[in-house]
Structure 1
Amino acid sequence: MKLLRYGAPGAERPGLMDDAGQIRDLSAHIPDIEGEALSPEGLARIAALTAEDLPLVEGQPRLGPPIAGTRKFLCVGLNYADHARETGKEPPPEPVLFAKAVSAISGPHDDVEIPRGSDRTDWEVELGIVIGTRAKYVAEADALEHVAGYLLVNDVSERRFQSERGGQWTKGKSHDTFGPIGPWLVTRDEIADVQALDLWLDVDGERRQTGNTRTMIFGVAHLVSYISQFMTLEPGDIIATGTPPGVGLGMKPPTFLREGQVVTLGAAGLGVQRQRMVLA
């Protein structure tokens, strides 16, 4: 299934995308796409519904973040060896973790703000994992059982704030709108091999990133298991799994986003995002 949320910011309603690419309203069956709805039982109840019997949503409403109630937005740094090299770093011996503020979450086509004082706002197309059931000290062999599904993430970053303003990476990752997710949550059963997904990103129609999840240093199951050794993962938590090469920081010379530019990104089976850059 492709689950989504549509409507004005703060007033989104739950829905799903039917086989014809039309939005169907789910609000008579679930209050939102969060919590118990993301469990295997909750997803099975939604899957048992007949899409054609659900109310059709007319027009082209705004798509919001496809899940609600996220308490942790975790990210994995330098998880593609070629991206690590383009930033001048060696591939890490174990996953590099950092947090992105949940207030950064935005819809897949919402404008992205360039922060005040920013001159190094950058792009990062990523596969996102959405947790469906509580995970604590899980074995790698069991890790995917705790995953509700996957979504597309643009891990927008301000490189000067990230690397030159002291502390860890959170300041460069957490500005409002720096976490576009969606357009939908694709349930795990729809992805035949999560370690074989193509990813891409364009800036003003020019291809900047091309990659595939097969070149991740640490795969999805390993990441879920690994992170669960340090903290409990809860339904709705998001793990952004790292970006392939082609970020602005790695270009020669480094190139960053400007007001008015448009970023478009996608991943096989996970849909496409489109964001216009605006000044905060």
Structure 2
Amino acid sequence: MIKTRPPAPPAESLGELAARHGLTVSGARPSLGAYIGQLWSRRHFVTAFATARLTAQYSQARLGQVWQLMTPLLNAAVYYFIFGILLKTSHHVPDFVPFLVTGVFIWTFTSNSVMAGTKAISGNIGLVRALHFPRAALPIALSLQQLQQLLFSMGALTVILIGFGQFPQASWLLAVPALLLQAVFNTGLSMAMARIAARTPDIAQLMPFLLRTWMYASGVMFSLATVLRGRDLPHWVAVALQCNPAAVYIDLMRFALIDSFTSAQLPPHVWAVALGWAMLFGAGGFLYFWQAEEQYGRG
């Protein structure tokens, strides 16, 4: 009588074998709640990383941290010469120097946050590949660095404002919520740019040109309200310029700090628009970055 061997049990797949022994995918994206918890547990790292980057930013320059003040002030001086003197924009804008310097400082906060975001992953690729941590900590830390730099520079802005007759008053307190909303907007935009640049590094080379175009559309060196009154533009163009997030945050800071910049120069529902941009980009940028968490540092 011939004996037959019983059929062999089906071979386990690699996934089943890993699950049976409690193995998980390395670098797998955690749930949104777990991801937020991981970020919160590393809040001290985010703060320390931002402060260290700020301290080291100009460590090789002889003037050191003075360049944190000099860079936006030199930009303001160049814009004043071109727009204030050569193009005579100052004739149509009361308190032009406070108007210009405020615009330059607030715009620099946004533009630097965007540029930092494009290098958040590629500029720290060794850290990303060597250690396991929520990658959103990097663009958040770099945005925090830019906020720290702006707050450091606000002393110089205050001196300039007082020197040109803009003395502290109750309206200056409005600068606090305006800066907080702008910081949330900048952080969300920085995270979105971090994901895009991680996949397409060439975007970092294109960003200076896009930012320069955005700056000219944001009324940094001139009054958008005056331009819109003097042009017969389609309604949607006027609304787009007025609701441009960079222009909104710049206008709110000018309204808070400059006496001659009145509510008549603000777009309709300006605080609601500022809050909307902050919520849209703050939450949207975070979700967009989190969705590609397992891809950063690979390839």
Higher strand fraction (1 or 2): 1
Mark yes or no: TM-score above 0.5.
no
Find the structure with the greater CA-based Rg.
2
For normalisation by structure 2, the TM-score amounts to 0.28
For normalisation by structure 1, the TM-score amounts to 0.30
